[in-house]
Structures are given as C-alpha cells and as structure tokens.
C-alpha cells in the first residue's frame, strides 16, 4: 500500500490563537511527481495525493492506517516555548 504521514498541521500564521489545533491529518506521499514543461508546475497522476483524512486523535489515525494496511510515519508536533513577559519590563532598562 501507499506510504502516508500522520501529523498535526501548523497553525495559520495570520492568527495568534491556538484554537482548533487538535486534529491529526493522514496524508499520502506523492510518488513520481512530474514537471509541466510549459508552466513549470509540479503534477502527478497519483490521485492519493489529493486525499487528506482528518482524525480527532493520533490513536484513531494509527488504528485506521493499520486497519487499511497503510505504511505510515508519525510526525510529532514540536513543543511551543512560552516566554513570560511583563509590561513593566518595557520601562525597566
């Protein structure tokens, strides 16, 4: 079967909040991409590249992949560093 990756997508850079950032995506990897010589676009005849499945947890995505016999790779999200700042620090130099 195809190779897939399971990951949490990055948040929208236009938003500062972290809401709706808890869904896991199962996405198939592209095989044999080709370049369009006229426009320079990358394309593929593989229709699995169009498919993105959303799951509410990592365990559900793994269970689905194992049930359908899909080879998968899990990409864990990086932990976010939180820097505590105080408004008073602007005036204490």
How many whole angstroms separate alpha carbon 84 and alpha carbon 21? Answer: 22
The domain spans of the chain are: 3-12+19-90
Considering the segment(s) 3-12+19-90 as one domain, its CATH architecture is 2-Layer Sandwich (3.30)
- Residues, the chain, total? 93
CB neighbourhood size of 13 (10 A)? 6
- Is 56 within 8 Å of 22 (Cβ atoms)? yes
| pTM: predicted TM-score of the whole model, two decimal places | 0.72
How many whole angstroms separate alpha carbon 2 and alpha carbon 36? Answer: 24
How many whole angstroms separate alpha carbon 31 and alpha carbon 3? Answer: 9
| Residuewise pLDDT in 10s, the chain (93 residues) | 679 999 998 877 777 777 767 899 999 987 777 887 888 887 777 788 888 999 999 999 999 999 999 999 999 988 878 888 888 888 886
């Amino acid at each position: 079967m195809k190779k897939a990756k399971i990951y949490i997508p990055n948040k929208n850079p236009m938003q500062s909040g972290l809401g709706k950032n808890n869904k896991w995506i199962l996405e198939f990897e592209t095989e044999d991409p080709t370049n369009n010589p006229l426009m320079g676009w990358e394309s593929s005849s593989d229709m699995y590249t169009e498919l993105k499945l959303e799951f509410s947890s990592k365990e559900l995505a793994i269970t689905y992949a194992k049930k359908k016999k899909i080879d998968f790779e899990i990409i864990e999200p990086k932990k976010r560093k939180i820097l505590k700042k105080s408004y008073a620090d602007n005036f204490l130099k």
